């Protein structure tokens, strides 16, 4: 097991071989809106995408690039302010134009370029503005450049979201770092949420895809803000191999180390997305244990944290455990409903599916904290699942009622 600790000074360009930048080109009124991530020697690439059937044009183009290149990506271009989703053939043309523009700028093959967009759905991308901005992009290794990329991908986020870890593989230091954006329309199921990871480990694309999918299932797919899956959700990982550590193969201790590190990075980013939910005042962490199926445990945890009634009770600092029970019972899979324990913070409120007297005043004070924990034990197995979300507030309505204005 790795002794993983968050290192705040690590950035997307900490892993060897990567450069980044972000600038303002005019897709948004003021803030940075165009970001570039580069691996000059080329990187193994893997990605997971939204399961929303109306996938945005950049998703389609990136899928094609990774397939055609055999899992090699040299650069990622990301714009914010416009999702380029539900824009028809014109949107697809704009996506290819964006890909070609950065390929020309960096003198690389178009199918070695991944692209991503986030922002308003259904409006044509200002492609001339974007292409003009591409010529201004000059990626660098400095921490400030990595931060500029993190800023350039934001929409309604209140701040950047980054995480990074370093560990040893056969005595060689390996870094894995990530950046994400997301605040509303967050209910990933892949995978407007984007995540990008960089690592200097040596991992072939097929192995990277397997490890990323497993990590995402336990992290990004376990968060929900509002129950809406975006047309643009994507998480991508690039592995440069520049640390020159041994190649990671599935079923080895090194693969287990790497997967654990990746999962921790993803979980940190996922929590930050959940805490930064539009209008949110609290992060809600739900743990479900006592099943014989980890996927079921995760599904129940996400059902709880995604319940509007649970979310509003947490906002109101009301330990209304009946709403939690209702969320559990709404799951489609059969469960033993006669032996459920529930704890809210330090207070046990249900034991063996029967109410327990608890300190309402203490419970309310704990619900006022920045992070609220809910634990459910079904007492039917050893599997454990987690999910993360946030409370539902008046400000969520204000933000989304005027999103386009």
Q: pLDDT per residue over 102-146, tens digit each?
A: 999 999 999 999 999 999 899 999 999 999 999 999 999 999 999
CB 213 within 8 A of CB 49: no
Query: Which residues make beta-bridge pairs with 224?
Result: 389
Judge if 270 and 290 occupy the same domain. no
Backbone angles phi, psi at 341, to 5 degrees: -110, 140
Model confidence over 7-44: pLDDT tens digits? Answer: 457 999 999 999 999 999 999 999 999 999 999 899 99
Q: Residue 158: inside a domain, yes or no?
A: yes
- CA–CA distances in Å: residue 253 to residues 248, 257, 259: 9, 6, 10
Judge if 115 and 231 occupy the same domain. yes
Mean pLDDT computed over every residue of the chain: 91
Judge if 163 and 309 occupy the same domain. no
Q: Residue 1: inside a domain, yes or no?
A: no
Rounded percentage of the chain residues whose pLDDT exceeds 70: 93
Question: Which of 233, 253, 275 lies at the terminal end of a domain, its last residue?
Answer: 275
- Count Cβ neighbours within 10 Å for each residue of 285-311 and write b for 16 or more, e otherwise: bbbbbbbeebebbbbbbbbbbbbeebb
CB contact set of 343 (below 8 Å; sequence gap of 6+): 349, 373, 374, 375, 376
Q: Residue 2: inside a domain, yes or no?
A: no
The residue to which tokens 């914010």 are assigned: 80
Judge if 146 and 63 occupy the same domain. yes
Judge if 71 and 202 occupy the same domain. yes
Q: Residue 350: inside a domain, yes or no?
A: yes
Judge if 245 and 368 occupy the same domain. no
Question: Which of 256, 275, 294 lies at the terminal end of a domain, its last residue?
Answer: 275
Give the number of other CB atoms < 10 A from CB of residue 59. Answer: 26
Q: Residue 301: inside a domain, yes or no?
A: yes
Question: Which of 259, 275, 291 lies at the terminal end of a domain, its last residue?
Answer: 275
Q: Residue 11: inside a domain, yes or no?
A: no
The DSSP annotation for 367-385 comes to: HTSSEEEEEEE-SS-SEEE
Q: Tokens for 247?
A: 């190649």
Q: Residue 167: inside a domain, yes or no?
A: yes
Cα–Cα–Cα angle for 327, 332, 333, rounded to 5 degrees: 110
Judge if 372 and 307 occupy the same domain. yes
251: domain CATH number?
Answer: 3.60.70.12
Query: What pLDDT does residue 190 have?
Result: 39
Max Cα–Cα distance, the chain, nearest Å: 68
Judge if 124 and 40 occupy the same domain. yes
Q: Domain range for residue 183?
A: 18-275
User: In the chain, how many domains are there?
Assistant: 2
Helices (H) and strands (E) in the chain, counts: 11, 15
Judge if 193 and 90 occupy the same domain. yes
Q: Tokens for 372?
A: 């609220």
Q: Residue 216: inside a domain, yes or no?
A: yes
State how far the Cα of 368 lies from the Cα of 394, in Å rounded to an integer.
16
Model confidence over 371-388: pLDDT tens digits? Answer: 999 999 999 999 999 999
Whether the pLDDT of residue 6 is over 50: the answer is no
Judge if 122 and 154 occupy the same domain. yes
Judge if 306 and 268 occupy the same domain. no
Q: In what order do the strands lie in the sheet with 354-355?
A: 223-224, 383-390, 283-291, 371-377, 341-344, 347-351, 354-355
348: domain CATH number?
Answer: 3.10.20.340
Rg (C-alpha) for the chain, rounded Å, is: 21
Active-site residue list? 192
Judge if 252 and 163 occupy the same domain. yes
């Amino acid at each position: 097991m790795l002794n993983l600790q968050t290192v705040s000074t690590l950035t997307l360009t900490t892993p060897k071989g990567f450069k980044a930048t972000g600038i303002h080109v005019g897709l948004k009124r003021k803030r940075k809106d165009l970001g570039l991530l580069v691996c000059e020697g080329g990187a193994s690439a893997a990605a997971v995408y939204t399961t929303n059937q109306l996938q945005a044009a950049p998703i389609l183009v990136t899928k094609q690039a990774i397939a055609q290149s055999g899992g090699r990506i040299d650069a990622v271009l990301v714009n914010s302010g416009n999702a380029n989703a539900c824009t028809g053939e014109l949107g697809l043309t704009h996506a290819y134009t964006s890909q070609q523009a950065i390929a020309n700028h960096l003198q690389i093959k178009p199918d070695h370029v991944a692209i991503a967009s986030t922002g308003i759905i259904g409006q044509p991308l200002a492609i001339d503005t974007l292409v003009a901005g591409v010529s201004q992009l000059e990626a660098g290794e400095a921490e400030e450049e990595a931060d500029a990329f993190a800023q350039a991908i934001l929409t309604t986020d209140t701040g950047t979201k980054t995480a990074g870890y370093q560990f040893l593989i056969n005595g060689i230091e390996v870094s894995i770092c990530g950046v994400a954006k997301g605040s509303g329309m967050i209910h990933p199921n892949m995978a407007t949420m984007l995540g990008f990871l960089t690592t200097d480990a040596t991992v072939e694309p097929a192995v990277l895809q397997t490890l990323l999918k497993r990590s995402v299932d336990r992290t990004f797919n376990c968060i929900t803000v509002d129950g809406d899956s975006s047309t643009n959700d994507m998480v991508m990982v690039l592995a440069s191999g520049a640390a020159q550590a041994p190649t990671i193969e599935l079923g080895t201790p090194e693969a287990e180390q790497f997967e654990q590190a990746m999962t921790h990075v993803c979980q940190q980013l996922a929590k930050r997305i959940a805490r930064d939910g539009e209008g949110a005042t609290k992060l809600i962490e739900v743990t479900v244990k006592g099943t014989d199926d980890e996927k079921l445990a995760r599904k129940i945890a996400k059902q709880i944290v995604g319940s509007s009634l649970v979310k509003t009770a947490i906002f109101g600092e009301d330990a209304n455990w009946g709403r939690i029970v209702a969320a559990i019972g709404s799951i489609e899979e059969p469960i033993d409903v006669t032996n459920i324990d529930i704890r809210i913070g330090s207070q046990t409120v249900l034991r063996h599916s029967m109410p327990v007297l608890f300190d309402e005043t203490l419970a309310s004070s704990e619900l006022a904290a920045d992070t609220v924990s809910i634990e459910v034990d079904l007492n039917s197995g050893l599997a454990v699942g987690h999910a993360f979300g946030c409370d539902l507030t008046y400000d969520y309505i204000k933000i989304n009622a005027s999103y386009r204005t």
